[in-house]
Chain A
Amino acid sequence: MTAAELDAIHLTLVLAGTTTVILMLLGTPLAWWLARRSGNLPALVEALVAMPLILPPTVLGFYLLLLLAPDSAMGALWQQLTGQRLAFSFSALVIGSVIYSLPFVVQPLQAAFARVPASLLQAAATLGATPLDQFRSVVVPLCRRSFLVAACLGFAHTVGEFGVILMIGGNIPGETRVVSVALYDYVESLQFAEAHRLAGILVVFSLALLFLLYRSNSHPRMGEAR
């Protein structure tokens, strides 16, 4: 394996890891809010969260590119604060990935939170637990598996990202050139042997992750809740 390929794999893992951490931090309160509220606003937010599931990644990438460009408000502000360009940077990839993989984290969490009986939270409240304490000591343990599912799906989906990255990240080695983009390069220059190697790595990685995830499914915890 070449140094460039190892670079691409390393970058992909860092991007997916960073994105997953941010997604878990943002997605958990968002999913909790969506699971406990109903009305027009939550429905609209839920629809927005689900948009990356159906939009072509190029559409999302296109708007993100406009948003992050140096002449946009956000791009200019970023440049002022950091002295760096935002578009075609690693940071841009993280922003794009967070939006692109959001539904894969929020939806399993939201479904799990909705299954936690409100009656158990009432019981915890009468026993002296504040809402945050109720979440930590009742909801989190009951939804432990869904947190695992959400993190794995968020991670795997970010690894498999291509369209958004190409639109807002380009193909800068060590900065934005992730495995899927490197693979595209190989195919475009007809280096099929190298392409096979990268494609094979992605297939094995994805299969292994999903296999481990579904195998751990044999002990559902929520089924015990009443």
Chain B
Amino acid sequence: MSALTLDLRCPGADGFVLAVSEQLSLAGITAVFGASGSGKTTLLECIAGLRRAAPGSRIAFDGERWLDDHHHLPPWQRDIGYVFQDARLFPHLNVQNNLLFGQRRKRTTGSPTLEAVCDWLGLHALLHRAPDTLSAGQRQRVSMGRALLAGPRLLLLDEPLANLDGDSRRQCLAALRHAIAASCIPALYVSHDAEEVSHLADRLLILDAGRVAEHGAMLELSSRIDSALARDEQAAAIVRCTLAAHDSQFGLSELHCEGNRLWVNHLPGAVGTQHRLRIPARDVSLCRERPEGTSILNILPVQLDAIEPGDAPRLLVRLRVGEQHLLARITRKSAAILQLKAGDRLFAQIKSTALLTETAEPA
């Protein structure tokens, strides 16, 4: 577990000020989440030393001073690996020499080998290619490999998937996630995409207008109805499940979650593996009675935990399933007709299409 102490003030354009005082315990992936202009990139650049914070600011990493009133450790002396949104591969070097650029200059020992990094990120076939012959997804994978080989103690990723979409986005996300897990280097991962965050993050730092709105464990924050995540149209709960069986006749897999059965599209994993299931709030509906004769396969008995206050036409409802939580977004009118209140025992129906976005939990 690494400790990053931040006491930062950094003015930007148009009166924007990033003001962050936070003690971050870093292990795994910490997502830095927020809308455009909330200061995510500014925060990363300050941590990397690429941007000067205002006097009085302080950064320390594992007891090592990176920034204070008397001291500004330059970026090339901070043991960081930075993956930029635009990859920034060196155009005059082939992939292999791009990868080795940081390794030849690293100050630490015990970083991963070129061989290992190429395995994690699928780079073997690309080693002798020029950067301008790579696809956007390949460029980001090379950029990630280059950062890892520099022997960082902290990875900083600034929306590495922003220029990708569809399949290449999914593949790149899986590769980055795998590489970060395999390297055991703590990462700060900037994103404005709630779905991406829920796939990746162990911890979450939510920025709003230059300030930390929330900071905590991903699973706990994602089940809150009053967080910045909940305000997102993509709001979703994340539940941990165990893969129980494969049903080859119907092409489905059976997951167990808190003693309940859930059916999802066939999963690649082995029986017994842990999975993280993202269930969007808008795909969950509520019934007083267990529905009969419905096409919906996944119906869970739940207990209503809390209802979002206010008079918006649509409300977010938090539901308890054993030790975990689901979110449902329903209309205020439905809530009134069903006379919902905390403590009610209900049935949650989950559209099966909602369960397509599952990811395996790292071991």
Contact = CB atoms under 8 A, between A and B. Distances in A.
Nearest to A117: B88
Interface in A185-226: 221, 224-226
A83 interface: no
B147 to A, nearest CB: 8
Contacts of B48: 126
B91 A133 contact: no
Given A127-B102, A129-B76, A142 B92 contact: yes
Interface in A114-160: 119-120, 122-130, 133, 137-138, 141-142
Interface in B71-100: 74-76, 80-82, 84, 86, 88, 90-92
A125 B91 contact: no
Contacts of B332: none
A126 B91 contact: no
A221 B92 contact: yes
B146 interface: yes
A196 to B, nearest CB: 46
Contacts of B201: none
Contact of B102 (A119, A128, A130, A141): A128
B91 A226 contact: yes
Given A119-B88, A224-B92, A225-B91, A125 B101 contact: no
A214 B352 CA distance: 65
Interface string B98-138: 00011001110000000000000000000000101000000
B78 to A, nearest CB: 8
A130 to B, nearest CB: 5
Contact of B90 (A125, A130, A138): A138
Contact of B105 (A128, A138, A142, A225): A128
Given A127-B102, A128-B150, A129-B76, A122 B88 contact: yes
A226 B101 CA distance: 17
B91 A142 contact: yes
B101 A127 contact: yes
B105 A126 contact: no
Given A122-B50, A224-B132, A128 B88 contact: no
A129 B84 CA distance: 16
Contacts of A142: 91-92
Contacts of B156: 126
B158 to A, nearest CB: 11
A127 B91 contact: no
A122 B107 CA distance: 18
Nearest to A221: B92
A16 to B, nearest CB: 30
B105 A129 contact: yes
Contact of A119 (B76, B80, B84): B84
Interface residues of B, number: 26
Contacts of A138: 90, 92
B10 to A, nearest CB: 16
Given A127-B105, A127-B150, A128-B106, A120 B90 contact: yes
Given A126-B48, A127-B150, A133 B75 contact: no
Contacts of A224: 91-92, 130, 132
Contacts of A133: 76, 105
Given A120-B88, A123-B88, A128 B82 contact: no
A133 B82 CA distance: 18
A125 B106 CA distance: 11
A126 B80 contact: yes
A124 to B, nearest CB: 7
Contacts of B132: 224, 226
Contacts of B86: 119, 226
Nearest to A141: B92
A225 B76 CA distance: 22
B99 to A, nearest CB: 10
Nearest to B105: A128
Q: Most A CB atoms within 10 A — which of B74, B84, B90?
A: B90
Contacts of A125: 49-50, 74-76
A123 B156 CA distance: 12
A109 B150 CA distance: 31
A122 B90 CA distance: 11
A126 B107 contact: no
Contacts of B101: 124, 127, 129, 137
A127 B150 CA distance: 6
Nearest to A133: B105
A129 B100 CA distance: 12
A69 to B, nearest CB: 48
28 contacts: A122-B50, A122-B75, A123-B90, A124-B90, A124-B101, A125-B49, A125-B76, A126-B50, A126-B75, A126-B76, A126-B80, A126-B82, A126-B156, A127-B76, A127-B147, A128-B105, A128-B106, A129-B76, A133-B105, A138-B92, A141-B92, A221-B91, A221-B92, A224-B91, A224-B92, A224-B130, A226-B91, A226-B132
Given A128-B76, A221-B92, A224-B132, 18 more contacts: A122-B50, A122-B75, A122-B88, A123-B84, A125-B76, A126-B75, A126-B81, A126-B147, A128-B102, A128-B106, A130-B76, A138-B92, A142-B92, A221-B91, A224-B91, A224-B92, A226-B86, A226-B132
